[in-house]
Chains A and B, each alone.
Chain A
Amino acid sequence: MKVLTLPSTDYTPEICLDYNNKNIFFKGECRPENVSTFFADIIDWFNALKNIKSDETKTPVVFYLDYFNSSSAKYFMDIIFLIDELNSKYNFSLEIVWEYDEEDEDVHEAGLEFEDISGVNFTFKAV
């Protein structure tokens, strides 16, 4: 499975999507200039998992975001729905780990909201 990595900028998070090494994370701030272009490759990467055989190993998908704008929220929601689909229909065992600064109630609450809307169980970690 191909690896997708993106370095962080002032307005986009560091991203690593490496299924084989069980290293999947989003870290930083997310308010890209063009939200649909920015997320296109990421959504494609998750969709491409449907074409490989899952090794059924528990794999964390870590979201450690300082801030994300409302347009990005929509895409993170889509990614979470995709993860749910990969687990339920394609035998993956992706675990959403929602990390947040222990003093950042807003990001914590945003995670709880995503969990509630998607019906997927998150693991929350105050960092």
Chain B
Amino acid sequence: MIDNNTTYTMFETMKQHKAMVTYHGEFTFESINNILLYARRDIKIRKVDQKLSRKIYAVLVEALENVLRHGIEKQYETKTTDGVFILYRTDEGFTIKTGNLIDNKDVPKLKEEIKDITEKNIIQLKEAYREQLRNGGISQKGGAGIGLIDMAIKANKNLTFNIFKTEDNVSFVELTINITQQKEIAA
């Protein structure tokens, strides 16, 4: 049971971290639309520079779709998965955090993709993006295989994954993306 103190701790923690939008629960296409609506409104209220706000929005879409696409699917009529999402301000810009459960059998492939992104510089990532556009197919899960690459480019590689096993067959994936107004590294 969540007692009152826990609720207060959650409230204070979010406030302390300058959380703008947080969500925990079922991720569906509809809930993503609502999160995007709130996030967009909050970014607008804060009068964020247009170029930066467009970048945040683009990364938000990919990050949220990533949760829905790869999270362990519930046996519902519409595609649903459990997840958590936080958008908060930092001194340098904004941070997006997502968390979701994945099947352990999907972990090696994800780790491989992360390794690939980590090892590439921005120029190589842009070339990989172009290659995916030119020749990549659409996966069974509906992804074009370029979402991660796209996020990495837009966040100037400021993204980290934390994957840990929670049960025998399940792992938790935490993705943190920092978006700053700093000038991008010249390609």
> What residues make up the interface of A, taking CB atoms closer than 8 Å to B?
10-11, 31, 33-36, 67, 69-71, 73-74, 77, 103-106, 113-114, 117
Contacts and interface: CB of A to CB of B under 8 A. Distances in A.
13 contacts: A31-B65, A33-B29, A35-B142, A36-B138, A69-B61, A71-B142, A71-B143, A77-B133, A104-B50, A104-B54, A106-B58, A117-B130, A117-B133
B57 A67 contact: yes
Interface residues on B, range: 20 to 34
Nearest to A35: B142
A115 to B, nearest CB: 12
Contacts of A117: 130, 133-134
A73 B146 contact: yes
B144 interface: yes
Contacts of A35: 138, 142, 144
A74 B139 CA distance: 12
B138 A74 contact: yes
A71 B130 contact: no
Contacts of A113: 130, 133
Contacts of A104: 50, 54
